[in-house]
Amino acid sequence: MSQDVVTHCPYCALQCGMTLRRTAERVEVLPRQFPTNRGGLCQKGWTAAELLDHPDRLTTPLLRDRPGGQLRPASWPEALDRVVAGIRRIQSAYGRDAVAVFGGGGLTNEKAYALGKFARVALGTRNIDYNGRFCMSSAAAAGMRAFGVDRGLPFPLADLSTADTLLLVGANVAETMPPLVRYLVEQRQRGGTLIVIDPRVTATARQATLHLQPTPGTDLAVANALLHIALAEGLVDKDYVAARTTGFDQVRRVTAGYWPARAERLSGVPVADLEAAARALGTAERAIILTARGAEQHAKGVDTVTAFVNLALALGLPGRPGSGYGCLTGQGNGQGGREHGQKADQLPGYRRIDDPAARAHVAGVWGVDPDALPGPGVSAYELLSALGTDGGPKGLLVFGSNPVVSAPRAGRIEGRLRDLDLLVVADFVRSETAEIADVVLPTAQWAEEDGTMTNLEGRVLRRRALGPPPPGVRTDLALLADLADRLDHVDGSAGQGRSRFPAAPEQVFAELRRASAGGAADYAGITWERIDAEDGVFWPCPDEDGPGMPRLFADGFPTPDGRARFVPVEHRPVAEEVCPDYPVYLTTGRVLTQYQSGAQTRRVEALRRVAPNAFLELHPDLAARLGVADGDEVRVTSRRGEMRAPARLTPTIRPDTVFAPFHWAGAARINSVTSDALDPVSRMPEFKVCAVRVEKAVASAGEGTA
């Protein structure tokens, strides 16, 4: 006898629909027709159920009795007592902000909401952020200042297939979101033009009509040049600009300095390609511009995205049927995770934590005094980098993240984590971060709890449990509720003005709806029943009887004057230019069969067989100068650290650039090398480019380095 449940994939922000079937032997994944994936799944999705009964699964809490000691099994009461005692000891000695929280973009909306509430109410700390800061924060900041709202795609995904011209900037969807490729295929079959901007000839770039291959970190110059050409050739939609935007004259003056020949010198993209791209966009009836991590993970990521937003506005795309600008969100709930309270400066509903009206509204839902809520904290990297230092947090609770692998300058961050008085990790496997924790708490997986997710379109979806977690495992909501209850009991008294923390996801979602009501990301009208009936509901949706909004900006923008804002931006060099000691650019990214820090996918045998190891991709000309053959172990060194991996020679990368995926730990951890320079607005680290030296790991006399 089998048992079926309709749900969604646990990985990327496509949130592909699938059906799980439990039989006597195993849990099977079956394809499902859903608007985003229409029955398609990638290899990660097909194998997602293999982790549910994996031998590495944690089913009991683990404790470390002394620094340097081994983790040992413990009971839940003992583990929670250790956590609560550690929190109280640290906060008594150093203040409430001395305990911090670090969340994840894969947590459900309910868990993201509860985690933000737990930090601010139960702990009273301002120090909370999440790994989504490393994902889409630059696009979010650019969207907020241009449009007054941040939603990855302000239109349904299906619009991609109808675009006459589609521009992808720093997006390798063929490996990061494979089911999305069908929209690109349909777009090409209709006769559409696909333009890809990427320093590498990726699997996505190989499908493009036109591939622009810039030097890493020069996308902003390319965007300004495209707008310069559009202006020079009369492709700007003057009526749209006059009626629906403000600030264009300043942008016009700035882009006058980005004539094509200068942009070619800055970026390496030929003038003819710049002109062809601008004309394809400017003459299309329906055109869409999409950015992703390649454009955003820079110390000027906000300005780079803004330059492409300026281009979209000048061409009159946002709000036009079948056209627009959007950002391809990466993590499964990267959108919902920041909307409801995991970011250091935000409260539920995408409210600013320093806004008195927002504080009053959310405090009313939580049953606390608005003045009791802490103020804004610092961004993810700044938080992690301050751990254990004078004035920094002495304790950290980690939910749904693995910063030992995923943080930039990861060697420093691992050291900071090891220096803490208390490190608590809630996870379902012993990730690299869990391995150095003082307390590890086993939590439920995606198929063992109900909840909602918000995909890259702003579509709120239902994730359904196939069954309960194994004995000894708790859900994150139950864990947070228990910890909050224990922290709320002092000298036998309870309820010191703090609200209850429900553990049932439907109750948490009902509270989230009230907390988000009236905010930019308004979920008040979204119920689980509506989600089931409508294949998800698009936010904003303030009224249960009113529709969600799959398309934004048709009638205006949620800015004070209803107009979108142009923002002038100038190209500037990357934070770390190449030099004689570090003469090669490094860029990083993902591969098809691995995901994020790899803590999950590296444990799936079918995925491990396809991509068992890290590698360093380099051009044959560069390899020849180094005396490196395909498969040789090479060492990549920056000012921050080094990594080692086999060389993979390919002519599809620029000769001045090398590439490594970031899914591996240990000696192959590329984030030991990456830059921690931050965008001044989004606080996004510059993952996508830094200066490195490359050499054979065991070089003989006379062999060079570069």
Report d(CA 630, CA 652) in Å as an integer. 14
* Residues 235, 238, 243: CA angle, nearest 5 degrees: 145
Closest by Cα among 352, 285, 273 to 315? 285
Bridge partners, 195 (sequence order): 167, 210
Report d(CA 706, CA 701) in Å as an integer. 15
Where is 5: in which H helix or E strand? Answer: strand 3-8
**Number of helical (H) and strand (E) elements in the chain, helices listed first:** 23, 28
- Percent of the chain beyond pLDDT 90? 94
Q: pLDDT of 124-176, one tens digit each?
A: 999 999 999 998 899 999 999 999 999 999 999 999 999 999 999 999 999 99
Cβ 277 vs Cβ 166: under 8 Å:
no
Where is 326: in which H helix or E strand? Answer: strand 324-327
259 C-beta neighbours (distance < 10 Å), count = 16
Domain architecture of the chain: domains with CATH:
3-51 (2.20.25.90), 62-134+333-538 (3.40.50.740), 138-328 (3.40.228.10), 584-696 (2.40.40.20)
Place of tokens 């720093």: 170
pLDDT at 1: 55
Handedness of CA 153, 405, 610, 655 (dihedral sign): positive
Coil vs helix vs strand at 317: coil
Report d(CA 178, CA 181) in Å as an integer. 6
Report d(CA 559, CA 566) in Å as an integer. 12
pLDDT at 354: 96
Bridge-based pairing state of the strands 210-212 and 346-347: unpaired
Closest by Cα among 211, 231, 359 to 294? 211
pTM score of the predicted model? 0.95
Q: pLDDT of 441-483, one tens digit each?
A: 999 999 999 999 999 999 999 999 999 999 999 999 999 999 9
Q: pLDDT of 235-290, one tens digit each?
A: 999 999 999 999 999 999 999 999 999 999 999 999 999 999 999 999 999 999 99
How far separated are the first and last CA of the chain, in Å rounded? 62
Where is 556: in which H helix or E strand? Answer: none
Give the residues of the chain that fall short of pLDDT 70. Answer: 1-2, 489-499, 699-706
Question: How many CA atoms does the CB half-sphere of 685 hold within 13 Å?
Answer: 25
The full DSSP string for 221-254 is: HHHHHHHHHHHHTT-S-HHHHHHHEE-HHHHHHH
Strand ranges across the sheet with 27-31: 3-8, 17-22, 27-31
